[in-house]
Structure 1
Amino acid sequence: MKIEEAIENLYKVFSKYTTSDMHYCDCGCIDENDVKKLASKKLRELEEDDFSSYHGSALYTWGDIEHYKHFLPRILEVHNEKNGKGLIGLFEITSKLEYAEWENWDSNEIKAIKDFIFADWNSFINKQHSEIGTDDIEYYSFFFKPEDLLSIWDLTINENSLKNFVAFFYYNGTEIINKGLKIKDKIYNKEFMNLLNQPELLDKLEIEFFKADEINKDYAEKISIVTQMIEQEKTVGNNVYKK
């Protein structure tokens, strides 16, 4: 499912929920201006600044589950728009969903969320200038097995995907090589090695290097280092991935 499709499906599935009888703590812990901002626009026009305070207090001192479900499609949509750089990250969203016991929700609601998250991950790894870290893989693993996430990271499908991987491996490769890709107390060596073994990856990196060498020396140097690291892993027979 494409990300646009997944977002529209969220709005459709959760459309029955409203802000009717929405309450909030009146002891002063919630700013009246934040209450006004949340109610100032239609759902699909809300920006992160409009609901960031609400999200922190939702279900605790501001509204119930049905109210959170009302806002959830827009919260997830903005998360995708921010491409991992917003105030409300996937960690905050998963924490809230866990507190709300989302796995006990209606099956169509659970499916709509998971369809979105999978499409969001696919969008994340293929968008321009995504800053992907091992913690991101861990957050997405709240919904899917790491091997399923890694299996759709096609490094040869477009330039963005390859560039995002170069940055990811440049900053995390040494630790992964030395300790393995650790997600939730489990090591995913074989699954990560499958990324490095994708057909024509080294050829693509070589082409990318010569293109970057003329316009972006810093990026070209990162490609060179990543290429060397990959080549070393492919040649060393007793590396960590084969344990």
Structure 2
Amino acid sequence: MSDYELQLKQAISHLYKTFESYHLNPPIAGCPCCVGEYEQKLIRSKILNQLTVEDLNHYVYHAVILWGTIEDFKHFLPRLLELTAFEYESFWSDIVIIKIAETEFNNWKEEEREVVNQYLLALWNYILSQPPRLNFSAKDFINSLSNINNELKLFLTMWSIHHSPNSLLHLSDFIGHRINLNKLPIKINYFSQKDTKEFLEWVLKEEVIARLEQYFFNNIDEPYIKEIADTIDILNYLLTK
């Protein structure tokens, strides 16, 4: 187990301890058009840390807005965030993190905000340590992670100092899929104008490009090296704009 995975599991353990006072009170009130007896039974079919993606899938898409309260959501939150980290093949991707941002997170208890933020930082480090995968890459999570506390700069700084070569593959994946070169000024898909400016100022720093170039020359025969070369070309092009 890597240090990044260990830190993430420790953060999840702290989530369970912090939110254990939120009990499941049957039935959770929900929109009758969206929530039936079957769905109510699913979320009670196992103890919390054994509930599966299938058990919680319907709930997570309707939570708070159409099914239950913020307190109900907090009951399930440790397991939802655990599944987000380790069952990323699901359709959830970053939806649980988006839900947190929609539930008046800044009004949560300080201890609750602290353990959630610890989880978010541990999750980000863990994502960057893994190869980019469908539904589990930097481009899938960075918006929702940074929007919770308006902390894009923090996550970019963590990206800069991350030791895993996979963090550079995530950067290449992000630039290849999210930067729109067809229009001026340059647009980053799904980013606000402010975040676009902040990201471009970061990614065009000499040290970021130097890391990519070093990776390229040290791994010339490795898979994905063409994507790294393309990323370097894009960044050098952006420097001229």
TM-score (normalised: structure 2): 0.80
Aligned sequence identity (%) = 22
Q: Partner of 1:168 in structure 2? A: 174
**Does the 8 A contact of 1:153 with 1:195 survive in 2?**
no
- Asked whether the equivalents of residues 43 and 74 of structure 1 are also in contact (C-alpha less than 8 Å), the reply is yes
Q: Is the 8 A contact 1:24 1:62 kept in 2?
A: yes
1:112 aligns with 2:115: yes
Distance 1:27 1:164 in 2: 42
Q: Equivalents in 1 of 2:208, 2:103: separation in Å?
A: 40
Please name the residue that 1:128 is paired with: 131
Give structure 1 stretches of 5+ with no counterpart: none
Cα distance, 1:8 vs structure 2: 0.8
**Partner of residue 227, structure 2:** 222
- Is the CA contact 1:14–1:109 (under 8 Å) kept in the aligned structure 2? yes
* SS state at 1:211 partner: coil
Listed as ranges, the matches of 1:38-187 within 5 Å are 38-83=43-88, 85-90=89-94, 92-130=95-133, 132=137, 134=139, 136-144=141-149, 145-154=151-160, 157-173=163-179, 175=181, 179=186, 181=188, 183-186=191-194, 187=197
Structure 1 residues 153 and 32: alpha-carbon distance in aligned structure 2, compared to 1, 3 A threshold: same
How has the CA–CA distance of structure 1 residues 94 and 128 changed in structure 2, closer, same or farther, with 3 Å as cutoff?
A: closer
Report if the CA contact (8 A) 1:13-1:109 is conserved.
Answer: yes
Cα offset for 1:107?
0.6
AA at the equivalent of 2:167: S
Q: How far did 1:19 drift? A: 0.4
| 1:196 and 1:230 in contact (8 A); partners too | no
Q: Residue 80 of structure 2: SS of its match in structure 1?
A: helix
Aligned residues: 228
Distance 2:68 2:206 in 1: 44
Structure of larger gyration radius: 1
- TM-score using structure 1 length: 0.79
Query: Which whole-Å deviations, capped at 9, do the CAs of 1:37-84 have from their partners, x for residues lacking one?
Result: 21111111111111111122322443322221110011011111134x
For 2:117 and 2:141, how far apart are their aligned partners in 1?
A: 16
Q: What do the CA deviations read for 1:112-140 (whole angstroms, capped 9, x no partner)?
A: 11111121112112212345465632222
